[in-house]
Amino acid sequence: MAWKRSKQGTTADSTTEPEYIVASKAAKEAIWMKNYIQELGVVPSIVEPLVIFCDNNGVIAQAKELRSHHRSKHILRHYHLPREIVGRSDVRMDRVTSTENMTNPFTKPMSQIAHAQHLGKMCLKNMSDWL
């Protein structure tokens, strides 16, 4: 599992576009991790594709389709890396519901109960629980 937070430098026309750009960066990170683990010899051969979870159907469709759509033709070519990586079965993109998406506490406002549930899933605790 890898985490990174940063401000995106591009202006997006839709919610799919920035998530697709993030998927491209995640795919690069996944390939790096896969190669690193194999080099360490911990797991000699990782045959199964690594999974990137996404709650945006448009992003998953973009990554699986080898052709551009009129809504995505303006996206820079180097962000279409997920198509190649998914196409060669190094990475698989799976749907996760928004309620199960573990990144939501970092990106969306939520109730205290929902936030606590997400913290539990990430094996994190509230600071007041430690005191």
Mean pLDDT, range 68-87, rounded to an integer: 62
Q: How far apart are CA 75 and CA 20, in angstroms?
A: 9
* 45 pLDDT above the threshold of 80: no
Two tokens at 6? 């940063």
Q: What integer best gives the mean pLDDT of the chain?
A: 75
Q: Sketch the domain layout of the chain as residue ranges.
A: 15-96, 97-131
* 67 pLDDT above the threshold of 60: no
pLDDT-derived band of residue 80, with 50, 70 and 90 as boundaries? low
Q: Give the model's pLDDT for residue 9.
A: 64
* 75 pLDDT above the threshold of 70: no
Q: Is the pTM of this model over 0.85?
A: no
pLDDT-derived band of residue 130, with 50, 70 and 90 as boundaries? confident
User: Left if phi > 0, otherwise alpha if psi is -120 to 50, otherwise beta: which for 11?
Assistant: beta
Place of tokens 């990174």: 4
- Using an 8 Å Cβ cutoff, are 65 and 105 in contact? no
* 13 pLDDT above the threshold of 70: no
At residue 65's C-alpha, the angle toward residues 62 and 67, to 5°, is 100
- Looking at the DSSP assignment, which residues form a beta bridge with residue 92? 51
CB atoms within 10 A of CB 62: 26
